[in-house]
Structure formats: C-alpha cells, structure tokens
Chains A and B, each alone.
Chain A
Amino acid sequence: MAPAELDSAVSEEKEADAKPGKQRRSKGTLKRIVTSVPELTLLILLILGGYLLMAVFSKVQGTQDLTPTSMWLIIAGSFLISTAIAIIAVVAGIGGGVIFTPIMLGFTSMDSLVIRATGLVVAMFSGLISSGPFMKSRLANLRVVFFCGVPITVGALAGSVCAIYLHDALGAVGDGMVRLSLGILMLVIAYFLLTGGGKTEYPEPEHIDALSVKLGLNGSYWESSLGKIVDYQLVRALPGALIFILLGFIGGFFGMGGGAFLTATLNLVMMAPVKIAAACSGVLLAISNATAIWTYITYGALIAIVVAPWLLGQVVGGILGAHLLIRIRAGFVRKILIVILVLSSLKLIARGVGGAFGIHIPLVG
C-alpha cells in the first residue's frame, strides 16, 4: 500500500526536484507515481476504461431534459472537474467542499440538500485518503485528532440533522437563507485565505494551561526546512473543544469542510505549529464529514449515480495533488481560489437575498 509508498514517492520527488532538468523531472514524477502508487494507476485505468464502456455501450435513454450523450458528458465532466478541484484544494491547503458547494449552490439549479450531500463527499474523500500519510509522517497528532474529534463529530451530526429539518420546514425560503449565510461565510474564508488568518509557523504560547498538559496534547515532528525535530505543546484545550463543536456544525449543515477555520483554530487558539494544524484539520475534516454524511445518506439526499464521479475525482485528484504540490506555486493557486470564492459568495448572497426576502439583485442575482 500506499500511504507509506505515497510518502516515499513524495519525498523522492522532492529530491528529484532539487536537481536540474525540467523534462527529466516530469518524466520522473510520472514514473514514480506509476511505480510507487500502483493502485492509483489501476484505479485511473479502470475509471477511464469504465467511462469508455459507458460511452460505447450506453443503454441510458434520453429524457425531456437531457439526451444520453449529455448525461454521459455530465458524469465524465463531473469526474474531470472533481479531479481539478481536488488538486487545487490540496495545493491551496483547503477542503474541496469549500470550492464545490458555493459554486454549485450559486450557479446551478440543483437542490441545495443534494448539493450539500455531494459537497460532503467532495470535502471528505481527499482528507480520508491523506489520513494515512499524515499519520505516518507524525504531522497528524493522534491525541489532538481524537481529542478534537469528539466535539467536531457531535457538532457535525447536529448540523446535518438541522440541515434536513430546515430544508423540510422552510422550503425555498430556507434554501435562500442557506445560500445567504453561506455567501457571507465564504467571504470570511476568502479573507482568511487572503490574510493567512495571522497564522504563525511555530507559535510559542505565553501560558500553558494545566488541562492541556494533563491531557498530553503535545508531540514532535521532523521539520525538514529547519533540519531538526520540532517539539510542541498545545494550549487552551477547553475553548478549542468548544470551537470545534461550532465548526463541526457548520461543516455538517453547509455540506463543506471549512478546513481553513479548523487550521486557524488549531494554530491560533490551540497554538499548534501550522504544519501540524493543517494535517490534523485534514484528518478531522474527514471524521466530521464521515459523521454528517450518514444523515444525508439515510434521508435519501445522496444520489449515488451523480455523486460517484465526484468521489472518484476527489480520490484521484487528492493523490495527484499531493505530488503536484511540489511543482505548483501555492501562492498563485490561493489567489485564483480567492477570486473564485469572492465571485461565488456574491452570487450566493444575491440568490440568497432573492430566495429568502424576494428581492432581486440585478447582474449577480
């Protein structure tokens, strides 16, 4: 398998990148991915073969709205877009749901509950697949993950149940309110990404509380940029846990991860080094979304045929993104992402105001 080999592939790739010769590096990267993560190669071949079979031997009948060809294009296109979202999300260091959910809610006519269920899959699977490498590299601290895991799963479950209740009780007005509040939330996330949220690489807490020490919320990891082992101690265990209930609720309710908030909480409130915060937030996102999604699955909001290509794209893109991380400038991707988020949020706010209060905003509405 793979987390181990994936790790070694990434580190080998880093070494290769340090050497001159762009073409040799590109070939080397592809070869390394194929040989070190064979199951990914197999999966990609199966997906491509499967989509080819679906195109050639399709027995799908056309409907009033769509022809068989357009249905196939929707499925294959969803896979490609999902792969791209996963790569962008990994490079930008956020969850894919933050891109998927606002765009779909802002620019398509799909039902908000169906979008949120699909959004949880998009937010979750790249996090699930990267849990192994994060654990192996010691960047994800098991104690921090399980300590924050309890409040975030409680919040996520509550958020998903509330989402269903609100959808059933308020109908179109509820959908408008969801779009409006998500639009505002997206602006906050865009601001976080723009300013970096005041994150510090290696925070040094002035006061260490007794509870955090008693809980043993500490650890150490190999910091390659410094060439030494970094020890850290988390603080403010109780306020951190309370914030995680709220973050879990937001994730479960809106059908997205909100990884930027999780990382900021771990880094700014609990004083985890930024690498530890990012890795732990990835694992925590996966756990919280894996809790919330069952409410949508059992309700019937997760439409498997439609969700399938989004899931496959997240897995393929998540692994590819980890390899590409080294050669794409993260700063550039983050700028693109901020533009996407601001545009989506404006559209969401406009549609939200229209749905909730019946006010039409020209141009963006």
Chain B
Amino acid sequence: MPGEKLKVPFAGLIYGQIIYWGVMLGCLIVVFGSVIAFTTRHNFAPASYWISSVWRGDSPARIWQGITGALPMGHWYFSHLTTGDGMSAFGISLGVFSVVPALFLSSAVLFKEGDRFYGLLALICGFIVLTGVLGLIPTG
C-alpha cells in the first residue's frame, strides 16, 4: 500500500504502545481485584457496602464517613493493595497513569530527534497530569 511509505513517528508509536499495555495490565488487575472483592472477605470495605451506598445515591463524603470517617484525600489503595477493592482501585489508576510514562518517554524521543519544542510540550502535558496524580491542587 502506498500509505506504508509514510514514516510513522517513533515518538507516536512509543506513546501508543505504552498506553495500550498499561491499560491491558490495569484491566487484568481490575478483574482479579473484582473477583477477590466478591469471593473473599479480604476487602478494605465490604463490596456490599460500596455497591449499596452508590445505588442509594450517597455522596462520596457520606460513603467514606461510614468507612474511615472522612474523605481519603489521597491514594488510599496504596496501603491496601492486597484487598479486593484496593487492587481494583490500583488497576484503574494504573490504566489511567499509563498516560504519564507515555508522555515522558515520547517527550524524550522527541528531544533526541531534535524536535525540542514538541518535546517540551509533551513534558509540560506530563507534568500537568502529574499535578493531578499527586493531588497538588487542593479540593477541600
């Protein structure tokens, strides 16, 4: 196909591959987490509590009030990685987080290829996402 003669940017390939496999890995962890949450009692909070509260229409503040007494305001699942709900939350976060290494690595490739401006833009994008990850902007 003539279209194959067009060169695919390496930075773009890197970006897509990292995200794809990050999401796939995240999905696997989410499946295992969901199974553990339903088939064992090894949970941060019972699966029935989470589902019933959401189904009732409770706000996040009310839901967390019944577990820890206050909103988590951080990555609560890091200290509960072996629990079903903690593992599920970690899997979701891992899938979303795959954007960060994808941005940083494609930025590195762009810098190496001499495309400094777009390398810098990718870097800035990565840092903006990191701002969200680290919860640097207070919400309450």
**Which residues does A use to contact B, with CB under 8 Å?**
1-3, 39, 43, 46-47, 50, 53-54, 57-66, 68, 71-72, 74-75, 108-111, 113-114, 121, 124-125, 128-129, 131-136, 138, 140, 142-143, 146-147, 149-150, 153-154, 157, 160-161, 164-165, 167-168, 215, 220-222, 224, 227-229, 286-287, 290-295, 297-309, 311-312, 315
Contact = CB atoms under 8 A, between A and B. Distances in A.
Interface string B12-43: 11011101110110111011111101111100
A300 B70 CA distance: 10
A46 B28 contact: yes
Contact of A66 (B26, B51, B85): B51
A146 B118 contact: yes
Contacts of B23: 125, 128-129, 315
A61 B125 contact: no
Contact of A132 (B20, B84, B106): B20
B125 A295 contact: no
Q: Interface majority SS on A: helix, strand, loop or mixed?
A: helix
Contacts of B50: 303-306
A304 B88 contact: yes
A60 B20 contact: no
Query: Which 8 A-B residue pairs are closest in the complex by CB-CB distance?
Result: A222-B3, A132-B16, A294-B132, A304-B89, A135-B12, A109-B57, A54-B38, A298-B135
A221 B6 contact: yes
B139 interface: yes
A118 B132 CA distance: 17
A298 B48 contact: no
A62 B49 CA distance: 9
Nearest to A165: B139
Given A125-B95, A157-B137, A135 B15 contact: yes
Contacts of A134: 16
Interface residues of B, number: 89
A247 to B, nearest CB: 15
A143 B99 CA distance: 16
A167 to B, nearest CB: 8
Contacts of A299: 60, 71-73, 139-140
B105 interface: no
Contacts of B38: 53-54, 57-60, 72, 75
A59 B129 contact: no
Given A43-B28, A71-B48, A302 B139 contact: no
Given A125-B23, A222-B3, A308-B30, A74 B51 contact: yes
B69 to A, nearest CB: 12
B121 A146 contact: yes
A153 B32 CA distance: 31
Contact of B12 (A128, A142, A309): A142
A45 to B, nearest CB: 10
A110 B45 CA distance: 19
Given A57-B39, A71-B47, A142-B118, 19 more contacts: A59-B41, A131-B102, A132-B16, A143-B118, A147-B118, A147-B121, A157-B137, A165-B139, A221-B3, A222-B3, A297-B96, A298-B73, A299-B71, A301-B60, A303-B54, A304-B50, A305-B85, A306-B51, A308-B33
Contact of A292 (B4, B59, B86, B132): B132
Interface string B88-119: 11011101111100110010001000000110
Contacts of B140: 164-165, 168, 299
A300 B64 contact: yes
Contact of B51 (A1, A71, A108): A71
Contacts of B97: 290
A101 to B, nearest CB: 15
B83 to A, nearest CB: 10
A165 B8 CA distance: 43
Nearest to B132: A294
A72 B133 CA distance: 31
A290 B51 contact: no
Nearest to B9: A142
Contacts of A294: 96, 129, 132-133, 135
B39 to A, nearest CB: 4
Nearest to A111: B59
Contacts of A224: 3
Nearest to B43: A305
